Homo-oligomer: A and B are copies of this chain.
Amino acid sequence: MVNTQVKLHSSNTQRKYSGKDQVAAFPLGGIGTGNVSIGSRGELRDWEIFNRPGKRTIMPNTFFSIWVKQDGEEPIAKVLESRINPPHDLSHGYHPITGAGLPRMEKSTLLGEYPIARIDFTDSTLPLNVNMRTFTPFIPLNEKDSGIPGAVFNYSVRNSSDKPVNVTIAASMINPVGGVDYDQFGNLSLKNAGQNVNDIRKNKEFSGIYFHSKKFSENDLKYGNMSLVTTNKNITYKRSWLRGAWFDFLQEFWDDFVEDGQLNDLGYDTPSGDGQSDTASLGASEVILPGEEKEFQFILTWYFPNRLNGWGDQHRVKEEGREVTQNYYTNYFDSSWSVAEYLIDNKERLVRETLLFHDALFNSTLPDYVIDAVASNITNLRSTTCFWLKDGRFLGYEGCFDDWGCCDGTCTHVWNYAQTVAFLFPKLEQNMRQTEFLEEVNEDGKMNFRAVKMFDSEWIWHGGTAPAAADGQMGTIMRAYREWKFSGDDAFLKELWPSLKKTLNYALIQWDHDNDLVFDGEQHNTYDIEFYGPNPLTGIYFLGALRAGQEIASYLGEKDTEEKYQTVFEKSSKRLDELLWNGEFYIQRLEDVNQYKYQHGEGCLSDQMLGQQLAHLFGLGYLLPKEKVKSAVHSIYKYNFKENFEDHSNCQRTYVLNDEQGLLLCSWPNGGRPKLPFVYSDEVWTGIEYQVAVHLIYEGLIEEGLTIVKAVRDRHDGYRRNPWNEVECGNHYARSMASWGLLIALSGFEFDIPRGEISFNPRINEENFVSFWSTGRAWGTYEQKINKETGEVEPKVIVLYGDASGIKVNAGGKVIEL
């Protein structure tokens, strides 16, 4: 064990990232709205609000700055970011549109507790302490209020001197409507911009700049607007920076700002010219007395309603007039200004409910890195990996390239691992099941493992119709069961049930060629290759799907079906165990492992027990003998967890290296490694690390599970990798949302909402347990103490949101009625 028990169980505050942690970037933005991230230097980066990913993008001329003046002293102005990190090796230096040459704060520290981030700035030349808190409302079970296209930035400035200080904080931003592009020198080259207008607008509660354009019609893909507003009352602004040559734009703004902290509007009253846009600045000024603290609140909102009606160029609607679709947020908002109004009108509630969730999650007694793993991957569901269309359809790529989603179709075999959406926004997860079962199942029961029909498309694989994915299809059946159990939504269940049965019945026809009730045919799977012969991955998935089918049939009173699934399950489980057990774990049986390329054979596959892990999470029990399950999962840890990668030989893709730790997808402790083992076998994927960790916890191998989780999060240290972006085949990879299972497993949380029951059985810190829980109806915290005198468990269930009335809670041997 690489970590001591004390270290593993400790529950400290979350890690902080210094400005030198170059890739730490905390995403803001709602569900289906896109993001902008705040970096550890306090900089805005990764602009992904234009309906496509935008990693590594900056927005020209866009930053916060502070002006400070005390009587008898020279004014000081700085960009509210800490200093730029090396390397400084651009072929033409930093361009003025980055403002890199302006003074910056000495240091910054980022604390990100999703969905809230805080940055503390320090600078010995200023008589002030400055910090900034930023967030986008996030309230589980409330999709709408978690899907607001905007973010709040609250700067708090405390006067640490003994003289009053005049302070202006200004936000500057280019009007990006029409798109931002550059020439080879890094100069702006806005081929589609023009007719851009930055208006000053004043409401009762706030005022600010409305960035729009007169160039695009409302259904143009480039149509949209942004608002940058403040609720502070004493404002100053410049609607447009100088329309000059060379670098005049920045010089004029900066000199104006430095002089007196007040901005002179230059009086331009015409829209920007063709191929041009304007930058606006909005400042708020306050006099702060010694010891006093004042707030400067800015709100940034965006409204880019139109997106390609499709996944991407390959799968999209090509019919004239239907090429464009809208984001869900257009159901509530008609402009970025209306978004700002909503945010400000409802701010008290939105803040309170967001904090309820934040506090429930982060006041947990679970280890800090577990909460970190659980919370940080929530970002994926609000990242560009997911999108949410006007008609309510919620969809997900696997992950994203820096500038486009990939791969298409809410891929069943990848999304199988993900738990976060299901446990926070079950309606959205149900929507994905509806797409899969109601639109993507063929007459014969084959489910297309990528959903592309809604965009008039078909998924093509190696030039032909794609096969069914054995793991994807079986796991999706299990997940439909989860959605029902979590929500108690019988109508949903009944709607899906005929299709669900078809997909389950398809399994034996398609994949069991020798009629022994164990899969052995060509089994396409999440490694993008086909397994042949009996193997634990797909075989155990099948067992889980059968158990789900059996439970549903029983609930619906379909006795025959229930018995059929039960019988097949029992035979299949017995046969699979006979075929694949090697005395320590389950292996793939093939006469010659090199007969087909890309098999695992006698290898110890990290995913061998994946179906069982899901069965645990969803309350389906053991699919194979308990002791063998435990032995298998323990073997995965024993053989596949590496404490060092310096001498690891991996000819595939590399996600972990050097002195890092991680869990391999496969290893061959008993030899038998194929010449060309399945692709990805020598890689490390966080989604698999999490599912194995969750499973280890279920089997009581707590230390082992936590060790894996800690390894993953240690790799994501802000310097090497972004803590809020676990990458696999793409940024914000859906599979990493397996981490939510840690919360479920460590709480011993079980749910049966159709029957009105939940239960807790903490597997860690039993004597002082606090953790978040959720169902489709309500969420809150579960607390448990052990009475030192009686030794009795004292459970406490707090409902923080939603309606949990009538739910019975089993915990600590007691039953609590909510």
- The residues of A with any CB-CB pair to B shorter than 8 Å are 22-23, 55, 77, 83-84, 86-96, 98, 100-104, 106, 125, 184-185, 244-248, 250-252, 254-255, 258, 399-402, 404, 406, 529, 597-598, 646-655, 657-658, 675-676, 679, 682-683, 719-722, 725, 727-731
Contact = CB atoms under 8 A, between A and B. Distances in A.
12 contacts: A22-B87, A91-B399, A91-B400, A94-B654, A94-B655, A102-B649, A184-B406, A247-B651, A247-B653, A251-B675, A252-B676, A254-B649
Contacts of A103: 646-649
Given A86-B720, A658-B84, A651 B730 contact: no
Given A251-B651, A649-B101, A653-B96, A730 B400 contact: no
Contact of A96 (B247, B400, B651): B651
Contacts of A258: 649
B727 A184 contact: no
Given A94-B653, A103-B646, 19 more contacts: A22-B87, A88-B655, A88-B657, A92-B727, A93-B728, A94-B655, A94-B657, A96-B653, A98-B654, A101-B649, A101-B650, A101-B651, A103-B647, A184-B404, A247-B679, A248-B676, A251-B651, A255-B675, A258-B649
A676 B251 contact: yes
Contact of A720 (B88, B250, B649, B652): B88
A494 B683 CA distance: 70
A87 B720 contact: yes
A101 to B, nearest CB: 3
Scoring A244, A657, A683, A728 by chain B CB atoms within 10 A of each residue's CB, the highest score goes to: A657
A434 to B, nearest CB: 30
A246 B597 CA distance: 11
A745 to B, nearest CB: 27
Nearest to A732: B91
Scoring A23, A88, A597, A648 by chain B CB atoms within 10 A of each residue's CB, the highest score goes to: A88
A651 B102 contact: yes
A125 B89 CA distance: 34
Contact of A729 (B55, B92, B722): B92
Nearest to A255: B675
Nearest to A100: B654
A256 to B, nearest CB: 11
In the A-B complex, the 10 residue pairs with the smallest Cβ-Cβ separation, listed nearest first, are: A101-B650, A94-B654, A101-B654, A250-B651, A86-B720, A100-B654, A251-B651, A93-B653, A93-B655, A246-B679
Contacts of A401: 91-92, 184
A651 B676 CA distance: 56
A657 B84 contact: yes
Nearest to A55: B91
Contact of A657 (B83, B719, B725): B83
Given A101-B652, A101-B653, A184-B401, A727 B250 contact: no
